[in-house]
Structure 1
Amino acid sequence: MQATGNGNQGCYLASISDELGNLLLSLANGVNPFFADDIEHHQAELEGDAIEADIKASALENTEKLQLVKSRRGQGLFRSNLEAIEPACRVTGVTNKALLIASHIKPWSKCDNNTERLDGNNGLLLSPHIDKLFDRGWITFTDAGDLLCAEPSIEQALLQWGINLPSNVGIFSPKQAKFLSYHRDIIFRANPAVCA
């Protein structure tokens, strides 16, 4: 930066120190508390895009490539496999599948193999607002189906949406529980506490 506040075009896209980067992130977080969350979400999307590009460039058959790419977007074989297991949004009860998102429990970009990416047990059909909370790690579930919230503000949002707390959405199968364990350990943002 120049003393005038203008950028120095002579060093466009130059690297900066970790300290300066952390300072900029903390200042941005002061303006938008969800800034770091947005950056993390975009990073996950970029990782998923890179994996998708690798799949497209691979020696797999075109139909298999198409199914894997569609699974990342919650369509195709993954969604069909998921709909055979989950008939509705576990939280809202919405059954109209056109209004539900086929959400991976263990994120697509973090799956160890193509089998995990297409496994219906690695998914939940969720209403869009519930999907966002789940995808970002603001909520998760115990194997017994208890809804867990990362913080009180999430509980407040759920109450404002008319979702009574505490909430139990029904027991998950052992195969789903394996993926939910990953979600609780890696994606969920807080120490588990049942939403009150």
Structure 2
Amino acid sequence: MRQEIDGGYLWSPVREASGARSSFYDNMRRAAPGDLVLSYAAGKVGRLGIVSDYAISAPKPEEFGTIGIYWSATGWLLPVQWLDADLAVRPKELIGRLAPLLPTKHSPIQPQSGNGNQKAYLAEVDRKVVDLILAAARLPAVDRLAKPTSPAADFATTLDDVVERNIQRDTSLDETVREQLVRARRGQGLFRKRVLDCEPICRITGLETPNLLIASHIKPWRACGTPAERLDGANGLMLAPHADFLFDRGLLGFESDGRPMFSSQLTDADADKLGLHVVQRPPPTPLHNDSQGYLNHHRINVFIP
């Protein structure tokens, strides 16, 4: 809780340690900008936050240290702007009114005792739960709360910076390899050459002029587990700049057969202004077999349905 409040985010693994799906972790991908989050720890709801962007695929934050040592190294990071007010509301003291409002499945709080459920992380609750907590904290109703005006922090860039610093310090890697890994972050060097060999044309626009294309990682550079993944040409697509941005943000994806998928969060109006509905796309062709694992990671961890 302390790390997430200070850092302005939520972070969870993608799955439980056993490999099972968790509705609490899946909610990280369902959360959308403007959603409200109540932070519960040590028996009390302490803070209220507002989701400022969609979750991104990200390594476990370094500041966690040994916390969750059994978790996978890569998970989902959800940017949250926490409001300054300290709520200090204890659900146990409200359980009579709170219990009827809690979900019957996947509740964050036990309706009989008011204790937190051990496996709960990010649970979906009724708006009335939020109103009750705010009233108990003597804070204004949700619709009268001041919304943050500062833009969402660029967590992807921040996390990439951390990974890059770790690469620069890794003396087990040859200096040339370290240089190529850093250049790969920006779609340059050996990685770009290898992607061009595999995917010389933008699958969205048909653009094939190399200096107008960006070598984009399919599995994000920060989420790659090895130097080989970061430099693998099969882990890349050559995309026009606007397609690269959409792909990186999860607003664009690809089926195994090469057909593009557009996120429900990309409005038709915005897609029209980007020319996505009128562009003469090249016929879809299946991606290379070596790219399918990376593509599956993107569809599960990056693409926003």
2:258: which partner in 1? 145
In the alignment, structure 1 residue 86 sits paired with structure 2 residue 199 = yes
For structure 2, the residue ranges without an aligned partner over 5 or more in a row are 9-37, 40-46, 52-80, 83-145
Match of 2:166 in 1: 54
| 1:36-185 pair list within 5 angstroms | 38-39=152-153, 42-59=154-171, 60-151=173-264, 153-164=266-277, 169-185=284-300
Distance 1:74 1:132 in 2: 13
Show CA shifts across 1:138-177 (max 9, x none): 1101001121111164444333333348x76321111111
Return 5+ residue gaps in structure 1 as ranges: 1-13, 191-196
Change (3 A) 1:52 1:68: same
CA distance in 2: counterparts of 1:128 and 1:136, whole angstroms: 12
Partner of residue 22, structure 1: 50
Give distance in 2, aligned partners of 1:136 and 1:96: 23
* Greater percentage in strand: 2
- The residue type equivalent to 1:106 in the other structure is K
Q: What are the superposed Cα offsets for residues 60-109 of structure 1, whole Å, 9 maximum, x if unpaired?
A: 22111111100111100100110110111111011111111110000000
Aligned partners of 1:150 and 1:188 also within 8 Å: yes
Q: Which has the higher contact order (CA 8 A, sep 6+)?
A: 1
1:186 and 1:50 map into 2 onto residues whose CA distance is: 20
Aligned CA RMSD, in angstroms, stands at 2.7
SS in 2 for 1:22: strand
Structure 1 residue 178: Cα displacement: 1.1
The answer to whether the 8 Å contact 2:265/2:304 transfers is no
Secondary structure of 2:216's partner? strand
Alpha-carbon distance, 1:22 to partner: 3.3
Percent identity of paired positions between Structure 1 and Structure 2: 36
Partner SS for 1:21: strand
Amino acid corresponding to residue 187 of structure 2 in structure 1: G
Q: Report the Cα distance in structure 2 between the residues aligned to 1:110 and 1:149, rounded to whole angstroms.
A: 22
**Is the contact between residue 138 and residue 154 of structure 1 (CA under 8 Å) also seen in structure 2?**
no
Supply the AA of the counterpart residue of 2:209: N
Distance in 2, Cα, partners of 1:170 & 1:155: 25
Taking structure 1 as the reference length, the TM-score comes to 0.76
Asked whether the equivalents of residues 149 and 155 of structure 1 are also in contact (C-alpha less than 8 Å), the reply is no
| Structure 1 stretches of 4+ moved >6 Å | none
Q: Aligned residues, how many?
A: 169
Larger Rg: 2
Letter in 2 for 1:22: I
- Tell me, yes or no, if the aligned pair for 1:91 and 1:169 is still in contact at 8 Å: no
* Cα distance in 1 for residues equivalent to 2:203 and 2:287: 10
TM-score, length basis structure 2: 0.50
Cα contact 1:104–1:124 (8 A) shared by 2: yes
1:111 and 1:83 map into 2 onto residues whose CA distance is: 20
How has the CA–CA distance of structure 1 residues 101 and 154 changed in structure 2, closer, same or farther, with 3 Å as cutoff?
Answer: farther
CA distance in 1, matches of 2:268, 2:292: 23
